[in-house]
């Protein structure tokens, strides 16, 4: 009986591996330094049997010279269902942060056999510096400052190629730009 149970669990681990899909998602991959942001870990089970153990290792690496950290997520998913886990993170430094799934593994119901699931999911988060507002006062001199192109020369053509000056028929000696 024990050998039959072990064989069934071995086959079940392969079945669960073939029907599981895991990926990372983030709606807006931009954050501000020292501000908490959220990403989503999606686990989809397309099989007829529930998955009792999905073991994932999420690695967070700061490409701007910061250290990397790993988080372990262990979840279960019902049959023909999808589960979304919200993961919070915070960046202490500006730059590019990369979140990637390093290891995804499913186990049978007795945890006798575990199968690795191939996943190539990663998110690049751009961490921006603190945003500071500067009070700016616009005076009437600034508003009424003459901008180039508001007034055209009446007597001779200017440097602006979009300006139309003295429309007449083409004569020998005229440049093609005129």
pLDDT at 131: 80
Q: Does 150 fall in a domain? A: no
Q: Does 33 fall in a domain? A: yes
CB atoms within 10 A of CB 106: 28
Q: Which whole number is the average pLDDT over 152-160? A: 61
Q: Give the domain range for residue 76.
A: 2-128
Q: Does 37 fall in a domain? A: yes
pLDDT at 147: 66
Find, among 117, 110, 114, the residue nearest to 46 by Cα.
117
pLDDT at 151: 58
13/152 Cα distance (integer angstroms)? 79
76/79 Cα distance (integer angstroms)? 10
Q: Does 163 fall in a domain? A: no
Query: Does pTM surpass 0.85?
Result: no
Q: Does 157 fall in a domain? A: no
For the cut 90, the answer to whether the pLDDT of residue 107 exceeds it is yes
Q: What is the tens place of the pLDDT at every residue in 21-45?
A: 999 999 999 999 889 999 999 999 9
Q: Does 174 fall in a domain? A: no
Q: Which whole number is the average pLDDT over 96-103? A: 93
41/25 Cα distance (integer angstroms)? 6
pLDDT at 44: 96
The CATH number for 94's domain is 2.60.40.10
Number of folded domains in the chain? Answer: 1
Q: Does 135 fall in a domain? A: no
């Amino acid at each position: 009986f024990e050998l039959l149970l072990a064989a069934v669990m071995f086959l079940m681990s392969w079945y669960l591996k073939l029907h599981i899909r895991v990926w990372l998602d983030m709606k807006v991959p931009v954050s501000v330094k020292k501000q908490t942001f959220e990403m989503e870990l999606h686990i989809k089970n397309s099989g007829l049997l529930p998955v009792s153990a999905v073991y994932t290792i999420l690695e967070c690496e700061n490409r701007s010279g910061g250290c990397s950290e790993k988080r372990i997520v262990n979840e279960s998913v019902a049959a023909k269902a999808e589960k979304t886990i919200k993961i919070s993170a915070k960046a202490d430094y500006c730059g590019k942060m990369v979140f990637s799934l390093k290891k995804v593994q499913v186990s049978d119901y007795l945890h006798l056999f575990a199968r690795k699931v191939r996943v190539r999911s990663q998110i690049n988060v751009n961490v921006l510096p603190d945003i500071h507002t500067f009070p700016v006062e616009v005076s009437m001199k600034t508003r009424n400052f003459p901008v180039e192109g508001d007034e055209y020369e009446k007597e001779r053509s200017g440097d602006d190629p979009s300006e139309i000056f003295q429309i007449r028929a083409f004569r020998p000696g005229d440049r093609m730009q005129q």
